[in-house]
A and B are shown apart, each in its own frame.
Chain A
Amino acid sequence: MKFPALKTYAVVYLIFLYAPIVLLPVFAFNDSKVIAFPLSGFTTEWFTQMWGDQQLFNAVKNSAIIAVSSAVIATSLGVFAARASTRFQFPYKAGIMGLIMLPMVLPEMIISMSMLVVLLAVGIPLSLFTIIMGHVLITTPFAVAILSSAFQSLDKSLEEAAYDLGETPLSTFRLIILPLVMPGIVSSLLICFTISIDEFIIAYFLGGNQTVLSVYIYGQFRFPAKVPSILALGTILVALSIVLLSIAEYFRRRGIAKTGAKDTGGFL
């Protein structure tokens, strides 16, 4: 390293980024309702408390339903859009793709408010379904972006070769295209799931009386007594994220090893 200052900067940056997350498990196991040093002892009480919270279970279940549905729907839509944008020419392509990608930069505040107005006007009751609609809207652009690069790197002659060897366009898609873009599909599912599970604004606006995880956690922070068990929940979520990312990385590396592609490094 030629510049020691840069090295220091990098280390400080990483500490700044990850230290707060490390504090989560520390206080989750701390035997005190007050979130402060010095630590007062080890306990698993907060986890027990969290485990017994029926509302929390409900919120987790709702969030899981929403995140899985949104990820699957957005990724499916993304497959069509990415395929169309990378392989076909059609009128107003740039404009259409632009409109699909727009929600990525649109403030969620605007999306939630306008959707709320429309849904109420049309008379659709607020429920998990309306949250899913909102989440599909904001996650589809991410799915399209990830899948477009997966489809882009697909050599067109692979499809033509399969077609040439007697397959129909549909069986070509199933036998050749799908397996080769599978890492992209997995990435897209993961990203969409992640975005959906911790999304707050849309879930808050469009949820009606259905509470999801992010909204529930936000609500619990009003009660200082509940904070340690929320930290326990956070610890579990961090652990789950690490497990999930590890699985994704395993599949990514396996895919690379299988197709002999070049490892560009990094997750997803």
Chain B
Amino acid sequence: MTFAEDKPNMIEFKDVHKYYGDYHALRGINGTIKAGEFFSLLGPSGCGKTTLLRTIAGFEGISSGAVMIDGKNMAGVPANVRPTNMVFQSYAIFPHMTVGENVGFGLRKDPRSKEDKAKAVAEALEMVGLKGYGGRAAHALSGGQRQRVALARALILKPKVLLLDEPLSALDKKMREHMQIELIKLQRQVGITFILVTHDQEEALVMSDRIAVMFEGQIAQLADPETLYRRPATKQVADFIGTMNFVPCDILSDSGGTIEVDAKGLGRVTLSADQVPPAQGVDPVVGLRPETLTLLYDDQKAADREVKGVIDEVIYFGDMTYYDVYLGGTDVEVRLSMRNVPGRPVLDVGTEVRLAWSPTALVLFR
């Protein structure tokens, strides 16, 4: 899953700041995006992710710092000559043109012959699964088809970087999931660097080689999806990506190599250094994901540690059931997820249960 480190840098951010008047939209962005990578900028609305994308495209200037594309500083380079193309959130399909005219729009100044251009348009349409749609009116397309036209129109210019600004947010859930997979396949096929802006953490996890999680104009963590999920760098990231239970704890000892904590309801645990991201100055809590807690049925035994609890809430999802459980006589409530397989009846609220868990699944935020 991790992306090859030896790929050359495609985008580099060097201490990028952006002010809108007094508003500090980007607060010192650093980081690199590799050539051929599927990269996501993930964060809640207003975190600056779209602004950052638009600084790559050239639609937004930056106040200080540098944005490099393929080793060249983009300062003073306008959007129409940058080696990037964008798929807009609204798709921005030109409504007064046909599908073919839309896709071929960027080829207007291309010196190739008319026939060659028509062939390129046909190929681009075929690539996105719209073979033979060239003559249709652009406004008569469905949301998913518009999306494909926007993709074909951007990719026909063979940009070094394709920028995608929340391209799937206007689609319904089924279509969105379908397009996610299509986009991944398309990216592998063309090998172009894709940079996706999204507020949907699931989408980012599914599609990306690496993700930059942004809060308030800063990158909180830049990592591959698995690291983000399993070892979030801050409590904020942990909270934003998936579901995370936070259990308050006291730090008993800190030897540098290992840290011993007393987590409320879970007891004393020794954590290794990789479970402890750098301190952020928050009240110490340990985080654990719902799937790292397991309900024990009948005479099942925990492989590692075991804790008692009482079910407070049952949320049934068909294939899964989520349980909110009070940990052993405390007011600490954790959510755990269980796959609904034969032999595991869905339990009722108020049932006293035993949970299996493992200290290796914990992450300490402090």
Question: Using an 8 Å CB-CB cutoff, how does the interface string of B130-148 with A read, 1 for contact, 0 for none?
Answer: 0000000111100000000
**Which among B94, B95, B137 is the interface contact of A261 at CB below 8 angstroms?**
B95
**Which among B84, B105, B139 is the interface contact of A260 at CB below 8 angstroms?**
B139
- Which residues 160-178 of A sit at the B interface, judged by CB distance below 8 A? 160-168, 176
Smallest CB separation, A101 vs chain B (Å): 27
With a cutoff of 8 Å between Cβ atoms, the chain A residues found around residue B59 in the complex are 160, 163-164
B89 near A157 with CB under 8 A, answer yes
**Which among A155, A157, A166, A259 is the interface contact of B80 at CB below 8 angstroms?**
A166
**Which among A157, A163, A165, A258 is the interface contact of B157 at CB below 8 angstroms?**
A165
Most buried by A among B59, B81, B85, B95: B95
- Please measure, in the bound complex, the distance between the C-alpha atom of A162 and the C-alpha atom of B88, giving whole angstroms: 11
Q: A161-B88, A260-B95 are in contact. List 16 more A-B contacts (CB 8 A).
A: A157-B90, A160-B57, A160-B86, A160-B88, A161-B86, A161-B94, A163-B59, A163-B79, A164-B80, A166-B106, A167-B108, A176-B94, A258-B95, A258-B96, A258-B139, A260-B138
With a cutoff of 8 Å between Cβ atoms, the chain A residues found around residue B108 in the complex are 166-167
Check: B49 CB closer than 8 A to any chain A CB.
Answer: no
**Which among B92, B106, B137, B140 is the interface contact of A158 at CB below 8 angstroms?**
B92
8 residue pairs A–B, Cβ–Cβ below 8 Å: A161-B92, A161-B153, A163-B79, A165-B80, A165-B157, A166-B109, A258-B96, A259-B95
B96 near A165 with CB under 8 A, answer no
With a cutoff of 8 Å between Cβ atoms, the chain B residues found around residue A165 in the complex are 80, 85, 105-106, 153-154, 157
- Please measure, in the bound complex, the distance between the C-alpha atom of A165 and the C-alpha atom of B154, giving whole angstroms: 7
With a cutoff of 8 Å between Cβ atoms, the chain B residues found around residue A260 in the complex are 95, 137-140
- Please measure, in the bound complex, the distance between the C-alpha atom of A155 and the C-alpha atom of B65, giving whole angstroms: 30
Interface size on B, residues (CB 8 A): 26
- Please measure, in the bound complex, the distance between the C-alpha atom of A157 and the C-alpha atom of B167, giving whole angstroms: 13
- Please measure, in the bound complex, the distance between the C-alpha atom of A105 and the C-alpha atom of B88, giving whole angstroms: 41
**Can you list the 4 inter-chain pairs with the closest CB atoms, starting with the nearest?**
A260-B139, A165-B106, A161-B92, A259-B95
With a cutoff of 8 Å between Cβ atoms, the chain A residues found around residue B94 in the complex are 158, 161-162, 176
- Which residues 28-74 of A sit at the B interface, judged by CB distance below 8 A? none
Which residue in chain B gives the minimum CB-CB distance to A169?
A: B80
With a cutoff of 8 Å between Cβ atoms, the chain B residues found around residue A162 in the complex are 94, 105
Which residue in chain A gives the minimum CB-CB distance to B140?
A: A260
B-to-A contact residues, CB < 8 Å: 57, 59, 79-81, 84-86, 88-90, 92, 94-96, 105-106, 108-109, 137-140, 153-154, 157
Smallest CB separation, A171 vs chain B (Å): 8
Check: A179 CB closer than 8 A to any chain B CB.
Answer: yes
A167 near B92 with CB under 8 A, answer no
Check: A180 CB closer than 8 A to any chain B CB.
Answer: yes
A164 near B96 with CB under 8 A, answer no
With a cutoff of 8 Å between Cβ atoms, the chain B residues found around residue A166 in the complex are 80-81, 106, 108-109, 157
Smallest CB separation, B219 vs chain A (Å): 24
With a cutoff of 8 Å between Cβ atoms, the chain B residues found around residue A261 in the complex are 95, 139
- Please measure, in the bound complex, the distance between the C-alpha atom of A164 and the C-alpha atom of B165, giving whole angstroms: 13
With a cutoff of 8 Å between Cβ atoms, the chain B residues found around residue A167 in the complex are 80, 108
A180 near B95 with CB under 8 A, answer yes
Most buried by B among A165, A180, A261: A165
With a cutoff of 8 Å between Cβ atoms, the chain B residues found around residue A168 in the complex are 80
**Which among A157, A160, A258 is the interface contact of B137 at CB below 8 angstroms?**
A258
- Please measure, in the bound complex, the distance between the C-alpha atom of A160 and the C-alpha atom of B80, giving whole angstroms: 9
With a cutoff of 8 Å between Cβ atoms, the chain B residues found around residue A160 in the complex are 57, 59, 79, 86, 88, 92
Which residue in chain B gives the minimum CB-CB distance to A167?
A: B80
B85 near A164 with CB under 8 A, answer yes
B106 near A155 with CB under 8 A, answer no
B96 near A179 with CB under 8 A, answer yes
- Which residues 214-266 of A sit at the B interface, judged by CB distance below 8 A? 258-261
Known A160-B59, A162-B105, A260-B139; contact A155-B90, beta-carbon cutoff 8 A: yes
Which residue in chain B gives the minimum CB-CB distance to A160?
A: B59
With a cutoff of 8 Å between Cβ atoms, the chain B residues found around residue A176 in the complex are 94
B137 near A163 with CB under 8 A, answer no
Which residue in chain A gives the minimum CB-CB distance to B109?
A: A166
- Please measure, in the bound complex, the distance between the C-alpha atom of A74 and the C-alpha atom of B140, giving whole angstroms: 35
